[in-house]
Amino acid sequence: MPLSMTEHNFPPLQNDLILKTIRGEPVDRVPVWIMRQAGRYLPEFQEVRAKHDFFDVCQNPSLACEVTLQPIKRFDLDASIIFSDILTIPQAMGMTVDMVPKVGPVLPHPLNDPSDLSRLVKPAVEKDLKYVGDAITLTRHKLEGKVPLIGFTGAPWTLMGYMVQGGGSSTMAKPRTWLYKYPNDSQHLLELITDVVVDYLVMQVKAGAQLLQVFESNGDYLNDELFVKYSLPYFIRISNEVRTKLKEQNIMEVPMIAFPKGATMSSLKMLAKTQCYDVIGLDWTVDPAEARNSLGIYLIFLEISFENSVRMESPLPHIMESADCDSTVKPKDRLVNLLDQIEVHVEQLRRDAWRLEEEKDTLLTTLDTIRNNELLGTLEEPDKDDVLRYAERLSMRCLTVDVLVKIQRDTVQQEALHQVNGLIDGLVIGLRQDPSGTRQKCAAFMNACSSQAMGHSDKNFETAILGCTIDDQKRVKKRLQGLLDYIDKMHTIEFQ
């Protein structure tokens, strides 16, 4: 008969809402927990970090326990997640990992080619990562059964990414190159990492973890073909081997969560079809309704992002309450007051959407300039094709975002805007052949947008921009400034 986690004499669990949800039992509300529960947003965490290095906190069970409990003491959450880091595994495999302020994790001696694989060691997990198990056991006792405790690991592809790249990256170009250049060695490295991940998760359950999560944080760098070859098999192997080893040691299984961040819906479907995980986590880019329809009855957890100007709470209910509270004000005045308040939020909504639209335009413009960059001419054809395909994929991804703030224009204003956009598009096209001349012309366009400009002003552009609406003039000016900044940045890089 499998053992429950009683050998440590843990206090009985009081809030099992998240476990009931995973088991499919009825619950009175949705359970809530935060993936980065302990972190720099908490002043008490800042106090700890002021005295201790990041990995010193991870490797000190008492400090890791203290930090894990901080958000539980502050907020009414339904689960706790042990304070640690996915890069404890590369450390245990013999790699140096530093947490550099304002930079993030840095591995100063990355795996540059397959010959570097000989530097890796097979750790004795229960010895080399014992501090994580000790932190879990201590935290389980300190929680006193208030909520369940989640253990976690990075998925093999994500860990490989850091080990090869040498830290975080917006492209993960080096590990992605490995997949194409050294496919067999990449799979060998992923197998080595998977061996450690399996033992690591089993150790966490033995120490007291009540749920396990596997983070594929770099999942968005894999298309469906690469996901099938370099991520999915290791997700499957981790689940199967963890459950088998727990059973062999007569230890009760715990629910397992897979979180392939940034994975396509096709990849999510393939993962769900394996039925290896009890829960699949979705990032904020995935429509929950679409995922529910596509993944069937599979249980999903949502990552809710507070970035990208997403407002999680509408202000209008509060406006309505304030509008209804004063009965001495005439009905018309009360309604006008309400409309005045709503107008403020409408204009803010337009500004937010406008900013997002500008960001989209800037991204597309930057991608266009990259596709026309003279550096492409120095590349071998395979490398050039890789860059162009990458840029095209990002462009198509960007175009899936539909943000539009409509501006009322008459026929003359519409034609003027069309003429202005055509002139600016010509700048972008000419940037590769004549960056210096393009910058001069862009500056002349910019001067045409201002009545107090210093320097040459392009008269044709000035005539066109004066025919545009005020809102369009502001947007055009921002677009030109963004293009100038980009040209200057590229000029600076060339001379470094």
Q: Active-site positions?
A: 36, 40, 49, 85, 162
Please return the burial class of 118, using the count of CB atoms within 10 Å of its CB with bins 0-12, 13-18 and 19+.
Answer: exposed
> 10 Å Cβ neighbour count for 31?
19
Would you say the C-alpha torsion 425, 429, 434, 435 has a positive or negative sign?
A: positive
Asked if 118 and 162 touch (Cβ cutoff 8 Å), the reply is no
Q: How far is CA 305 from CA 3, 35, 238, 334, 348, in A?
A: 38, 11, 28, 36, 20
Q: Kindly report the backbone phi and psi dihedral angles of residue 25, in degrees, each rounded to the nearest multiple of 5, phi listed first.
A: -85, 155
Q: Kindly report the backbone phi and psi dihedral angles of residue 106, in degrees, each rounded to the nearest multiple of 5, phi listed first.
A: -130, 130
Tokens 């969560």, residue? 257
Helices 470-494 & 435-448, crossing angle to 10 degrees? Answer: 150
Give the CA angle between residues 470, 474, 479 to the nearest 5°: 145
Distance of CA 368 to the CA centre of its chain: 24
DSSP 353-418: HHHHHHHHHHHHHHHHHHHT-GGGGGS-HHHHHHHHHHHHHHHHHHHT----------HHHHHHHH
Residue 65, H or E segment: helix 61-74
Please return the burial class of 453, using the count of CB atoms within 10 Å of its CB with bins 0-12, 13-18 and 19+.
Answer: middle
What is the C-alpha to C-alpha distance for residues 290 and 271, in angstroms, rounded to an integer?
Answer: 16
SS3 213: strand
Q: Where do the H-state alpha helices sit in 214-327?
A: 224-230, 232-248, 265-274, 288-295, 316-324
What is the C-alpha to C-alpha distance for residues 240 and 256, in angstroms, rounded to an integer?
Answer: 11
Asked if 253 and 6 touch (Cβ cutoff 8 Å), the reply is no
Asked if 413 and 468 touch (Cβ cutoff 8 Å), the reply is yes
What is the C-alpha to C-alpha distance for residues 227 and 274, in angstroms, rounded to an integer?
Answer: 14
